[in-house]
Amino acid sequence: MGTLDLRVVRPAVPVNLADIPLCHSLAQACAKCAEIAGSQDKSVALDTGLDAATWSKLKQGEAGIKGDFLDRLMDACGNEFPMLWLLHSRGYDPASIRKRESELERQLREQTEKLHAAESKLATITEFFAKARAA
């Protein structure tokens, strides 16, 4: 019988991309992830399945990252700072990365884009007629 995964997933918290180059190691990026969330060390340790001492050592770069810790950390903190830091450290631009879309999300995005384009055209036409009446 398998174990039940009771993963903590917090709502998304925005990340300031300018903070990424300020971190010089994955350990610092993990600590920044928790800082962005405003999470206490004890809470992060509990939510990621670590003991407090291991989390403390990990933040200092004295313990290695194992298993699905990064996934659990990013879920528990509601941000993906370590992943963005890894992208940056490997020479990628984190600002140009976007999540994959489901088919429904893609359709919604396309319809929203069409709606915005139609609203822009309507505003232009309305402005044209308002100027024409005033002249």
pLDDT tens string 60-110? 999 988 889 999 999 999 999 999 999 999 999 999 988 888 999 999 999
Residue whose entry in the numeric block shows the structure tokens 């313990």: 63
**Tokens matching residue 44:** 């992060």
Nearest 5°: the CA angle 21, 69, 51 is 110
Residue 76, pLDDT score: 94
- What is the rounded distance in angstroms from the CA atom of residue 98 to the CA atom of residue 96? 6
Mean pLDDT over 123-135 rounds to 91
The SS3 assignment for 107 reads: helix
The pTM for the full model equals 0.71
The SS3 assignment for 75 reads: helix
Contact 83, 77 (CB under 8 A): no
Q: Which fold has domain 17-96?
A: 434 Repressor (Amino-terminal Domain) (1.10.260)
> 20-63: per-residue pLDDT in tens?
999 999 999 999 999 999 989 899 999 998 999 999 999 999 99
Contact 83, 74 (CB under 8 A): yes
Where exactly are the structural domains of the chain? Answer: 17-96, 99-135
